[in-house]
Amino acid sequence: MRFKTRGVLPGFGLSLGYTVLYVGLLVLLPLSAMVIKASSLGLSEFWLKVTDDRALAAYRLSFGSAFVGSLLNAVFGVLVAWVLVRYRFPGRSIVDALVDLPFALPTAVAGIALTTVYAEHGVLGEPLAKLGLKVAFTPLGVTMALTFIGIPFVVRTVQPVLEEIDPDVEEAAAVLGATRFQTFRRVIFPALLPATLTGFALAFARALGEYGSVVFISGNMPMRTEITPLLIVTKLEQYDYAGATAIAAVMLVASFGMLLLINLLERWARRAEA
């Protein structure tokens, strides 16, 4: 094994061979099938399919509501992480465990539950409707669902950083006459920024592709509340494989762009911590 540089334990060849074979068959082969299918369309046809009005409306909704949802999560995620790390209150560890719920709860279950809560006669939908806010079957509902599935990301990236901050720096700020808010804004927040942005990007990437929790609450009206993944499914159901693949390719490029960005942010976060 020429390209193996370190490691004395046996099993390198076996584990490498098995891992590469499994990843190749299960991930790379299917994904390359999609890329090849998309590139067989021809540039002008591809462009036509990915820029028709309905697709553009779907991108706007997907990117817009994913952005707003992740922004909400960035603000409240830092707050929740702060409260969980800094304060002791009854039920804290239950709340801490509950933060991971969107990871574990099937998206379809989240979808029907959120729709029931925010429907016109739902527990929270009714008071909101009286205030003139319709949630279910509107873009606002899509944003709510995308906020739900993004909750763990910011909390879980910010929590460990907050735990590691040395009390000395906060004491020093206090001794030098900073108010508590100044200390947060000038000392703590800059330390949390890389982790917060990483969490934001993770939540945004997840929200872009989300399907199950959105399709129930969105109402799925073309041009208005139709997210991009749903448009792909609709095209598939009409046996428009070319159209579905073209739009999927756009989404795939967007996800890979996010993946790259997240990697850069994580590298920045590690450097900031060191």
Q: Within 36-55, which residues bind other proteins (CB under 8 A)? A: 37
The number of residues that bind other proteins (CB under 8 A) is: 101
Q: Give CA angle at 141 (201, 78), nearest 5°.
A: 35
Q: Is residue 74 a contact partner of residue 192, using CB atoms and an 8 Å limit? A: no
Question: Given candidates 39, 51, 182, 263, which one binds other proteins under the rule CB under 8 A?
Answer: 263
DSSP secondary-structure letter at 122?
Answer: S
Cβ–Cβ under 8 Å, residues 156 and 199: yes
Contact positions with other proteins (CB under 8 A) in 171-200: 171, 174, 180, 183
- CA 273, distance to chain mean position in Å, is 23
CA 123 to chain centre: 26
Is residue 8 a contact residue for other proteins (CB under 8 A)? yes
> Based on CB atoms, which residue is closest to other proteins, 139 or 210?
210
Nearer to other proteins, 85 or 194 (CB): 85
Nearest to 203 by CA among 115, 102, 56, 272: 102
**What is the x/- site pattern for other proteins, positions 144-163, by CB under 8 A?**
x--xx--x-----------x
User: Binder to other proteins among 42, 45, 54, 79 (CB under 8 A)?
Assistant: 79
**Interacting residues of 182 by C-beta distance below 8 A, sequence separation 6+:** 173
d(CA 230, CA 146): 14
Q: Which stretch binds other proteins (CB under 8 A): 42-50, 92-100, 135-143, 264-272?
A: 92-100
Choices 49-57, 86-94, 129-137, 266-274; region in contact with other proteins by CB under 8 A: 86-94
| Under rule CB under 8 A, residue 86 binds other proteins | yes
229 binds other proteins (CB under 8 A): yes
Dihedral sign of CA atoms 232, 258, 158, 266 in order:
positive
Minimum distance from residue 48 beta carbon to other proteins (Å): 20
